[in-house]
Amino acid sequence: MSGIYARRIAVVAASAALAATTGLLTAPTAQAAMPTPVSASTARTYLGQLTVSTEGSSSGYSRDKFPHWITQSGACNTREVVLKRDGTGVVQDSACAATGGSWYSEYDGATWTAASDLDIDHMVPLAEAWRSGASGWTNAERQSFANDLTRPQLIAVTDNVNQSKSDQDPGEWLPSRTTYRCTYARAWVHVKHYYDLTVDSTEKSALQSVLNGC
């Protein structure tokens, strides 16, 4: 990987370490408090800078090559940190499991009061990242990507909606809640640009269409 990418990964690791020590104390109470993505204007610029390429193969892909839900602080892993961050009135037990609270799913507008009804979505799915360039990363780099709390890459959403999205890109799937699509496209481009991942032509056209309406 390039020196620039290596520095980016170092920043991700440092940010994760900082979040581990401060995140649970300073997490905002607003629902779905995913890190704010770049503006629509910046996203349009970033999109124009992404390499357009036919999507790569899924050959060799495994979720195990993206170690996720790593320990962030004490007994809390990445999933539990995001549940705490994205919910309202979240109560956690000594094992950091969410035992109370409410969560608003930005993708479909549903509200849930049981953490078991939520999945933590990778904005850019792991398999999509693999086909867009992550197949050439190290496992450590893929781990940083899969647990990135600094970019708009992780968000708590309705579990079956996340499963419906699966590993599809915006040319194939967008949130049913249309008012969130602008934020979704901004976040998608933000993440792909930061990690220097490619886009295919259909994906780029879909993103352009959404961003032009922002």
The per-residue pLDDT for range 64-86, each reduced to its tens digit, is: 999 999 999 999 999 999 999 99
CB 54 within 8 A of CB 122: no
pLDDT tops 60 at residue 22:
no
CA angle 30, 82, 97 (to 5 degrees): 110
Q: Compute the distance between CA of residue 87 and CA of residue 206 in angstroms, rounded to an integer.
A: 30
Residue type, position 183, single letter: T
pLDDT of residue 24: 36
pLDDT of residue 51: 98
pTM of the model: 0.85
What confidence category does residue 23 fall into, taking pLDDT thresholds of 50, 70 and 90? very low
Span 172-201, mean pLDDT?
98
CA angle 170, 171, 175 (to 5 degrees): 40
pLDDT of residue 33: 84
